[in-house]
């Protein structure tokens, strides 16, 4: 499988939506779908790494697939709102590097 950039992922999702998916759901609908997908990921993470036991409805679900579902809808929202996620992530790294340069090293909880 080829390596994919975030920019390419945004373009591929946009192409899929406009051809197979017909059109984007509204941004507000996609926000709701994003929350649902995060909930599904959370449920599986809690059952896999937390204290809750699995239910029959959890069978066959994979963390990677749930993460990809979250990412897919996030890409849709980025496309709908004109956000270049590559640029946004680069700026986020700059912000975190400036703001948190020493912060986590001084956190006694992380020793």
Q: What is the CATH number of the domain that holds 55?
A: 1.10.287.1080
Burial tier of 40 (Cβ tally within 10 Å: 0-12, 13-18, 19+): middle
Query: What global pTM score does this model have?
Result: 0.89
* Residue whose token pair is 């390419």: 8
Contact 78, 10 (CB under 8 A): yes
Measured over all CA atoms, what is the biggest interatomic distance in the chain, rounded to whole angstroms? 52
Q: Does residue 25 sit within a domain?
A: yes
User: Does the residue 13 lie in any domain?
Assistant: yes
Residue 100, domain extent: 6-110
Residue 17 lies in a domain: yes
Does some domain include residue 1?
no
Residue 24 included in any domain: yes
* Domains contained in the chain, number: 1
Q: What is the CA radius of gyration of the chain?
A: 18
Residue 10 tokens, joined: 């945004």
pLDDT in tens, the chain (111 residues): 789 999 999 999 999 999 999 999 999 999 999 999 999 999 999 999 999 999 999 889 999 999 999 999 999 999 999 999 999 999 999 999 988 878 888 888 888
């Amino acid at each position: 499988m080829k390596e994919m950039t975030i920019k390419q992922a945004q373009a591929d999702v946009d192409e899929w939506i406009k051809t197979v998916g017909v059109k984007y759901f509204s941004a507000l609908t996609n926000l709701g779908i994003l929350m649902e997908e995060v909930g599904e990921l959370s449920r599986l993470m809690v059952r896999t790494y937390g204290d809750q036991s699995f239910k029959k409805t959890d069978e066959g679900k994979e963390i990677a697939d749930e993460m990809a579902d979250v990412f897919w809808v996030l890409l849709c929202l980025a496309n709908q709102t004109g956000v270049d996620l590559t640029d946004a992530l680069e700026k986020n790294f700059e912000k975190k590097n400036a703001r948190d340069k020493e912060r986590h090293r001084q956190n006694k909880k992380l020793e």
